[in-house]
């Protein structure tokens, strides 16, 4: 049984305070026995992608760099595995949205660069992030093989499937998603339900636990073109049949601790043998943009 911690946090423009509160949450979860702790997408700062501003590139850092050093020392002190999410400066003019996994000895176990990059109102990520080039490969750690995907990746079943086919023990989604204030309550409900349903579907079709950690709270639009984003929280963990193991509220910060039975995937895949029945001889078209 794996004890897993989720940190759902509301961020402000004070980056140092954001990081200190993350560290406090990590300590609290480790004290409760967490072996693996997952943080939300771009957890050090506000979600800066609401606008296109070249000054925001100053928020990026190298990997290894200040954040991996700082969180790595904490991981080593507490003997936990951490899933972090950073704005990576790879080279001049080349930046990524990168998840970094830190081992319990503080070393970098591996990283994943976000593959699917959105470009929607208030989510102008294509301005900042180059699509990932590390493929969909699980990261091996002392607590298992982690299939790390990031936010927009969660809508693409191909990404989850490839992680599963390569031996992931669980799927993990650091996330930053929320509501546009002018949407109706009905539309907001549909969006959040679809977000959760899509990821629970990945759990079912791949027979794997799924972990989604979202930020929470309102973050204003610096350009004042919109009323900002109300991040809906609702971080959760689901088992390999899509069953909800724990779920956070939509309106406040919280740390969650949950037991994940990694061995149960084998049982589920025996009774629901989707991998056995896949028609790999008939899927050639999946690599095409569209089939006329």
Q: List residues with catalytic annotation.
A: 41, 114, 151
177-180 long-range CB contacts below 8 Å, 24 or more apart? 177/151, 177/214, 177/231, 177/232, 178/215, 178/229, 178/230, 178/231, 178/232, 179/229, 179/230, 179/232, 180/121, 180/122, 180/226, 180/227, 180/229
Cα–Cα distance for residue pair 263/270, rounded to 1 Å:
12
- In which order are the strands placed within the sheet that holds 94-102? 108-113, 94-102, 81-91, 36-38, 2-8, 254-260
Rounded CA separation 44/117 (Å) = 19
Cα–Cα dist 42/175, whole Å: 8
Exposed/middle/buried for residue 85 (C-beta within 10 Å: 0-12, 13-18, 19+): buried
The single residue listed with the structure tokens 């606008």 is 51
């Amino acid at each position: 049984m794996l004890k897993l911690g989720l940190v759902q946090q509301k961020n402000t423009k004070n980056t140092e305070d954001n990081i200190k509160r993350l560290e406090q949450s990590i300590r609290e979860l480790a004290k409760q026995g967490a072996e693996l702790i997952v943080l939300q997408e771009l957890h050090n700062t506000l979600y800066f992608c609401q606008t296109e501003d070249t000054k925001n590139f100053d928020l990026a850092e190298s990997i290894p760099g200040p954040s991996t050093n700082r969180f790595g020392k904490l991981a080593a002190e507490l003997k936990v595995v951490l899933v972090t999410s950073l704005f990576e400066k790879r080279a001049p003019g080349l930046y990524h949205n990168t998840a970094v996994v830190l081992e319990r000895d503080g070393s970098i176990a591996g990283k994943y660069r976000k593959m699917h990059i959105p470009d929607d109102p208030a989510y102008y990520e294509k301005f900042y992030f180059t699509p990932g080039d590390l493929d969909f490969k699980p990261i091996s750690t002392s607590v298992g093989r982690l299939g790390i995907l990031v936010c927009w990746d969660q809508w693409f079943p191909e990404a989850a499937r490839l992680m599963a086919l390569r031996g992931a023990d669980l799927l993990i989604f650091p996330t930053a998603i929320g509501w546009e204030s002018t949407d109706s309550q009905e539309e907001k409900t549909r969006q959040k339900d679809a977000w959760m349903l899509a990821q629970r579907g990945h759990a079912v079709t791949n027979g794997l636990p799924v972990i989604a950690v979202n930020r929470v709270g309102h973050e204003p639009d610096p350009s004042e073109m919109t009323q900002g984003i109300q991040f809906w929280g609702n971080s959760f963990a689901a088992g390999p049949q899509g069953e909800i193991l724990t779920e956070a509220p939509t309106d406040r910060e919280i740390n969650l601790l949950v037991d994940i039975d990694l061995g149960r995937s084998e049982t589920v895949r025996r009774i629901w043998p989707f991998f056995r029945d896949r028609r790999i001889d008939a899927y050639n078209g999946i690599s095409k943009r569209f089939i006329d």
